[in-house]
């Protein structure tokens, strides 16, 4: 998070102002929250936020398992648990330092694995445990990779996908992340993205878009005459469960991005963020439900779910400042984006299996763009510069990696393998071996 540096500096300033005078002044000025207590609260925030965001990995897994066809469900489960694992290792080996160490207003940090506090560490001056910060930042990069896996599902080979994940989480995301949260050039310019509408969600969305274009659509999705054939997901309750998990995890995603809980101002802000995060999602659901009823005379449950997620992505760039009315507006537009963008992508024959591009890329752009509405420190011009910069870099870098993988090992299974399903071809374990072949089995 961008505010990490600023926050801890600010915290230290507060600490030095309030803690030191104890020695010089009378006891009545003992700081209300001692630096040690603030350190514990700050670290606890990272730990709670961290486990909530870690839980989002399960949310993506369930959402995607529910939205792919049953013949590809085991593969989707495997990809999700693997990408979460790879993201952690890569973010330790190269990611964290590329993103946070020695960026100094530039474009990239330094190379090398990250080192935590030692056992029993007592480096009070950081204001929090460095391992807790690492953990919290690590789960964010996993979220970026999860976005990709949904879009390219049902036809991408396992190993090229995992290699792409390693590059995305170890290099691409950390470099672009450094521009803002590592106190790089965009941060100096005044770009504002509180918890990552652009930095996490749009970057994942751009990587997914590049993959979807280079991979091509699933067989049977688009007719030669331009007709679109729905390929219904295998389990709506799993998709619903995944959405609820993501919603829950987002309280950690946005709330703990406050990066400090050791003062009443900080914990009050976290509370506002919780309320706003929840209500943006609620607004996204309500708008998506109403719109699909009006447009199609039936309510599409997948639109309601993606409406929630789009509302969440939309508020992520600025979950603190908006009033409740602004929050409902921001989240509601997110829900509308999903309803209109899903068919639009189909017109462009971009096959996004789970709707991740509307949810994460488009709503992420929207959320970042609208920050100045409620946050006076942000400007529309700088927001656009940031959005475009992230877009160009993430799309081009991802495209190059996908292209190299395609040219070397290949990224797509054969047509027969696709028809048979990835579970039989690459995994050897069917997701639901006993459930009969329904009429819609494809």
Q: Which of residues 123-142 bind its own copies (CB under 8 A)?
A: 124, 129-132, 134-135, 138
Is 37 near its own copies (CB under 8 A)?
yes
Could you say whether residue 428 binds its own copies (CB under 8 A)?
Answer: yes
Q: Which of 143, 321, 337, 356 binds its own copies (CB under 8 A)?
A: 321
**Which 3 state secondary structure label does DSSP give 156?**
strand
Nearer to its own copies, 332 or 391 (CB): 332
CB of 241 to its own copies, least distance (A): 6
CA gap 56, 93 in Å, rounded: 22
Q: Is 417 in the site for its own copies (CB under 8 A)?
A: no
Assess 238 for contact with its own copies (CB under 8 A). Answer: yes
Please, is 437 exposed, middle or buried when counting C-beta atoms within 10 Å of its C-beta (0-12, 13-18, 19+)?
exposed
Q: Is 261 in the site for its own copies (CB under 8 A)?
A: yes
Segment lying near its own copies (by CB under 8 A), choices 1-9, 78-86, 360-368, 397-405: 78-86
Stretch 11-30 residues interacting with its own copies (CB under 8 A): 22-23, 26-28, 30
Per-residue b/e over 362-392, b at no fewer than 16 CB within 10 Å?
Answer: bbbbbbbbbbbbbbeebbeebbeebbebbbe
As a whole number of angstroms, the longest Cα–Cα distance in the chain is: 83
- CB closer to its own copies, 87 vs 212: 87
First to last CA, the chain: 43
For its own copies, the binding residue among 16, 271, 408, 414 (CB under 8 A) is 271
Among 278, 314, 316, 389, binds its own copies (CB under 8 A): 278
Q: Give the CA distances from residue 250 to residues 7, 118, 190, 321, in Å, rounded to whole numbers and listed in that order.
A: 21, 30, 25, 17
Does 92 engage in binding with its own copies (CB under 8 A)?
yes
Give the DSSP per-residue string, 203-252: HHHHHHHHHHHHH-PPTTTB-TTS-B-----S-HHHHHHHHHHHHHHHHH
Residues 144-183 that bind its own copies (CB under 8 A): 158-159
Please report, as residue ranges, which positions from 207 to 236 form the binding site for its own copies (by CB under 8 A). 232-236
Binding segment toward its own copies, per CB under 8 A, in 199-207, 316-324, 380-388, 395-403: 316-324
Q: Is there binding between residue 440 and its own copies (CB under 8 A)? A: yes
Q: Residues 413-422: contacts with CB within 8 Å, 24+ apart?
A: 413/155, 413/156, 413/157, 415/219, 418/154, 418/155, 418/218, 418/219, 419/219, 420/71, 421/69, 421/70, 421/71, 421/72, 422/71, 422/72, 422/74, 422/75, 422/154, 422/155, 422/158
d(CA 295, CA 17): 59
Q: Which of 6, 9, 13, 36 binds its own copies (CB under 8 A)?
A: 36
When binding is defined by CB under 8 A, the residue of 2, 3, 7, 69 that contacts its own copies is 69
279 to 308, contacts with its own copies by CB under 8 A? Answer: 279, 281-283, 285-286, 289, 293, 296, 298-302, 304-305, 308
Q: Which listed residue (35, 170, 364, 421) binds its own copies by CB under 8 A?
A: 35
Among 269, 346, 352, 418, binds its own copies (CB under 8 A): 269
- With tokens 């329904």, the residue in question is 438
Site for its own copies in 357-416 (CB under 8 A): none
Query: What's the token pair of residue 349?
Result: 């024959």
């Amino acid at each position: 998070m961008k505010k990490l540096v600023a926050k801890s500096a600010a915290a230290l300033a507060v600490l030095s102002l309030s803690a030191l005078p104890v020695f010089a002044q009378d006891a009545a000025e003992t700081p209300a929250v001692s630096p040690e207590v603030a350190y514990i609260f700050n670290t606890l925030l990272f730990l709670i936020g961290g486990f909530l965001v870690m839980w989002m990995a399960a949310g993506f897994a369930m959402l995607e398992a529910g939205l792919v066809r049953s013949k590809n469900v085991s593969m989707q489960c495997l990809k999700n648990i693997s990408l979460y694992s790879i993201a952690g290792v890569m973010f330790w080996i190269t990611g964290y330092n590329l993103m946070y160490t020695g960026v100094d207003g530039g474009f990239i940090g330094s190379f090398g694995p990250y080192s935590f506090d030692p056992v029993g560490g007592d480096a009070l001056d950081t204001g929090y445990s460095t391992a807790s910060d690492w953990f919290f930042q690590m789960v964010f990069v996993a979220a970026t990779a999860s976005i990709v896996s949904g879009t390219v599902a049902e036809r991408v080979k396992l190993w090229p996908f995992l290699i792409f994940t390693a590059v995305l989480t170890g290099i691409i995301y950390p470099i672009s992340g450094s521009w803002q949260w590592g106190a790089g050039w965009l941060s100096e310019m005044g770009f504002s993205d509180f918890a990552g509408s652009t930095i996490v969600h749009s970057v994942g969305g751009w990587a997914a878009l590049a993959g979807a274009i280079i991979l091509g659509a699933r067989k049977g999705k688009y007719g030669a005459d331009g007709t679109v054939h729905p390929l219904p997901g295998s389990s709506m309750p799993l998709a619903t469960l995944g959405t609820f998990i993501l919603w829950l995890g987002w309280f950690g995603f946005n709330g703990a991005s406050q990066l400090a809980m050791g003062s009443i101002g900080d914990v009050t802000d976290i509370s506002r963020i919780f309320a706003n995060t929840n209500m943006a999602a609620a607004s996204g659901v309500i708008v998506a439900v109403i719109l699909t009823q009006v447009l199609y005379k039936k309510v599409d449950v997948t639109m309601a779910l993606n409406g929630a997620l789009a509302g969440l992505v939309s508020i992520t760039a600025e979950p603190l400042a908006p009033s409740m009315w602004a929050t409902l507006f921001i989240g509601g537009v997110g829900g509308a984006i999903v309803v209109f963008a899903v068919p639009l992508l189909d017109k462009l024959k971009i096959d996004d299996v789970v709707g991740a591009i509307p949810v994460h890329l488009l709503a992420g752009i929207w959320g970042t763009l609208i920050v100045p509405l409620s946050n006076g420190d942000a400007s529309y011009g700088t927001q656009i510069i940031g959005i475009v910069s992230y877009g160009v870099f993430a799309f081009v870098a991802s495209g190059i990696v996908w292209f190299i993988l395609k040219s070397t090992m290949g990224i797509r299974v054969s047509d027969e393998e696709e028809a048979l399903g990835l579970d039989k071809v690459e995994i050897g374990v069917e997701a639901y071996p006993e459930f009969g072949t329904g009429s819609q089995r494809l």
